[in-house]
Structure 1
Amino acid sequence: MEKKIYSIYGNELRTIKLDDAIFGIPTNAYIVYYAINNELANKRVGTVCTKDRSAVRGSNVKPYKQKGTGRARCGDKKSPLLRGGGVIFGPKPRNYNYTLPKKMKRLALKSILSMKTRSNCLTVVEDFTIENGKTRELLIILNRFMKDERTVIVLSDSDTMIKRAGNNIPCLSFLSYNRLRAHDLYYSRRVIILESAVEKLNKLYHAVGEE
């Protein structure tokens, strides 16, 4: 599959070959669903905690006698049925993290990249950087490819200056070619991938034995 490469000025420069095994496979909706749920679950902190009747502070004395009052029998003031008592089956601290198989995660990422390519939401741009880290200069470049929409830029390496320039842009996020996130890619309206990142993506997936 051939894809046009654009300059930072919006001009067509040349074409680059996209690996059909990464950018041209059918979208597997089920795998994408599992990958996004996995990422959201791993972000959960799980520190919420409630007190049951054994943890609530209070006396163990019966509030009134067992019979003869016409009221329901009650053991103590810590009962969940009374105000100030414990919580029935309340949440406790837990770990929501779980590991998704590597093949499933790679398939989900390739499915999303293929979907973005088919819908013309993926743009390949020549390698560039922002030497002074100014947001204004990055916006001048991005305005040629996006219009106030959620955008992801896939970098070939950890470029500190370009990330610094994009920190003040609320609809923009950065991903490295070897640390992609299914949630960010799927919900983005525009994916801008650098030319060197495309080449490294092709080598990465071939290195793990996937054609």
Structure 2
Amino acid sequence: MVNCVVKNWQGEQVSEASLELKVAKEENANHIVHRALVRQMAKARQGTASSKTRAEVRGGGRKPWRQKGTGRARAGSIRSPLWRGGGVIFGPKPRDYDLKMNKKERRLALRTAFSSCLENAVVVENFAEEIARPKTKEIISALERWKVDPNQKVLLIVTEITENLNLSTRNIPNVKLLKASNLNVYDLLNAQQVVVTTDALTKIQEVYGD
């Protein structure tokens, strides 16, 4: 169980929150989180790179010149891989980079990664109502009140992304907005600081607390 201090919009400590998630054993934690990270990054690859072999390149059906008597090297096709404009030897072909990982392992890796981030995370009360209109300055000021450096990579986890919140944060280059239901290992590990609302913390406990 992890206990966290909860701050309000003004940056004052108002209460405490706790989260209990089943995480991987210490000796296996790095391995399982690394596997989940590699899987996520591999799954993001399109795998559409493709090159043509000598059988697929257009032309080259006729022998360029006779076998003997010209003084030149033997050639059977102008689309040989040795020729300019010819096919490619062992070139890339469309493929699927997806790596298999059990659902239980994926969820365990995600819980482990989130628990490791939560030790230094900032938990705040739901502040959606505080943003009456899109205003980037208000979000930057709030981060500073919460002792969060907006110049570092900040992951802001909420339950619902409102239009005002989205418009207020999208111009801050180092702040990424993420729904609690869309947690992923890469964003958790990539963030230098994590800010999570109490509602999002409850949602994470409901979804991943098995």
TM-score for both structures, normalised by structure 2: 0.86
- The residue identity in structure 1 corresponding to 2:171 is N
Deviates more, 1:182-191 or 1:152-161: 152-161
Counterparts in 2 of 1:198 and 1:84: CA distance versus 1, 3 Å: same
Listed one character per residue, the Cα deviations across residues 85-120 of structure 1 (whole Å, up to 9, x for unaligned) are 1111211223334553221111111111222234x2
Separation of aligned partners in 1, 2:31 and 2:132? 42
Task: Tell me whether 1:157 sits opposite 2:156 in the alignment.
Answer: no
- Measured after TM superposition, the shift of residue 25 of structure 1 is 6.6
Task: Tell me whether 1:205 sits opposite 2:204 in the alignment.
Answer: no
- Measured after TM superposition, the shift of residue 140 of structure 1 is 1.3
Separation of aligned partners in 1, 2:39 and 2:17? 33
- Measured after TM superposition, the shift of residue 8 of structure 1 is 2.1
Unmatched runs of 5 consecutive residues or more in structure 1:
none
Deviates more, 1:177-186 or 1:93-102: 93-102
Structure 2 equivalent of residue 142 of structure 1: 143
Structure 2 equivalent of residue 124 of structure 1: 123
Separation of aligned partners in 2, 1:10 and 1:25? 35
Counterparts in 2 of 1:33 and 1:71: CA distance versus 1, 3 Å: farther
Counterparts in 2 of 1:25 and 1:126: CA distance versus 1, 3 Å: farther
Separation of aligned partners in 2, 1:59 and 1:186? 52
Structure 2 equivalent of residue 192 of structure 1: 195
Matches within 5 A, 1:92-107: 92-98=93-99, 100-107=101-108
Structure 1 equivalent of residue 18 of structure 2: 17
Alignment RMSD (CA, Å): 2.2
- Measured after TM superposition, the shift of residue 14 of structure 1 is 1.2
Structure 1 equivalent of residue 91 of structure 2: 90
**Count of residues paired in the alignment:** 204
Counterparts in 2 of 1:16 and 1:132: CA distance versus 1, 3 Å: same
- Measured after TM superposition, the shift of residue 151 of structure 1 is 0.8
Deviates more, 1:80-89 or 1:63-72: 63-72
Separation of aligned partners in 1, 2:3 and 2:183? 22
Structure 1 equivalent of residue 111 of structure 2: 110
- Measured after TM superposition, the shift of residue 64 of structure 1 is 3.1
- The residue identity in structure 2 corresponding to 1:201 is I
Identity %: 34
Structure 1 equivalent of residue 78 of structure 2: 77
Unmatched runs of 5 consecutive residues or more in structure 2:
none
Q: Is the 8 A contact 2:37 2:186 kept in 1?
A: yes
Counterparts in 2 of 1:33 and 1:150: CA distance versus 1, 3 Å: same
TM-score for both structures, normalised by structure 1: 0.86
Runs of 4+ residues deviating >4 angstroms:
68-72
Q: Is the 8 A contact 2:156 2:178 kept in 1?
A: yes
- The residue identity in structure 1 corresponding to 2:164 is M
